[in-house]
Amino acid sequence: MTRLLLDTSGLSAIFQGRPEALEAMRHASEVCLNPVVIGEVLAGWMKRGGRYEADLREFLSAPRVRVVEMNEETGRHYAAIHDSLRKAGTPVPTNDIWIAASAMQHGLTVLTADRHFGLIKQIITETLPPSSP
């Protein structure tokens, strides 16, 4: 079974009820978030009046969901990924490098709708198809 780290787009897909995201979550033995994703989600919701914070609390209280730690080791993985992307000339948003570093540290597969995670060779990703309009 897969252990997933949701990036912000992956978590959003779950909250939107997208079948492919819910299916990935159903097959995961563990579903993780990190502080970067939580911050991005909360910042996005604050723009909308903060009315979804209870949904996040409920999600985080599920038995298979946990928040993974970020520490000095995460920083070392960040530096390695950043250097690799720089050498390849393939920039990726900074927060997504932190998310990837966290996945690398904890041996997690990133569930995302963002294609640029595929540029990060140090991690495994499960990329969701584009959402329908």
The token pair that represents 53 in the structure block? 């914070």
How many Å apart are CA 13 and CA 77, to the nearest integer?
A: 26
User: For 28-59, how does the pLDDT look when each residue is reduced to its tens digit (9 = 90+)?
Assistant: 999 999 999 999 999 988 877 766 788 899 99
- What pLDDT score does 131 carry? 75
Q: Is the pLDDT of residue 133 over 70?
A: no
Domains and CATH numbers, the chain: 2-127 (3.40.50.1010)
Q: Three-class SS string for the chain? A: CEEEEECHHHHHHHHCCCHHHHHHHHCEEEEEECHHHHHHHHHHHHHCCCCCHHHHHHHHCCCCEEECCCCHHHHHHHHHHHHHHHHHCCCCCHHHHHHHHHHHHHCCEEEECCHHHHHCCCCEEEECCCCCC
User: For 51-99, how does the pLDDT look when each residue is reduced to its tens digit (9 = 90+)?
Assistant: 678 889 999 999 999 999 999 999 999 999 999 999 999 999 999 999 9
How many Å apart are CA 51 and CA 132, to the nearest integer?
A: 25
- For 133, counting Cβ atoms within 10 Å of its Cβ (0-12 exposed, 13-18 middle, 19+ buried), the class is exposed
How many Å apart are CA 120 and CA 117, to the nearest integer?
A: 5
- 79 residue type, one letter: A
Q: Is the pLDDT of residue 132 over 70?
A: no
Q: Is the pLDDT of residue 2 over 80?
A: yes
Compute the CA torsion angle 83, 85, 72, 104 (nearest 10 deg): -140
User: For 107-130, how does the pLDDT look when each residue is reduced to its tens digit (9 = 90+)?
Assistant: 999 999 999 999 999 999 999 998
The token pair that represents 8 in the structure block? 């912000």
Overall pTM > 0.85: yes
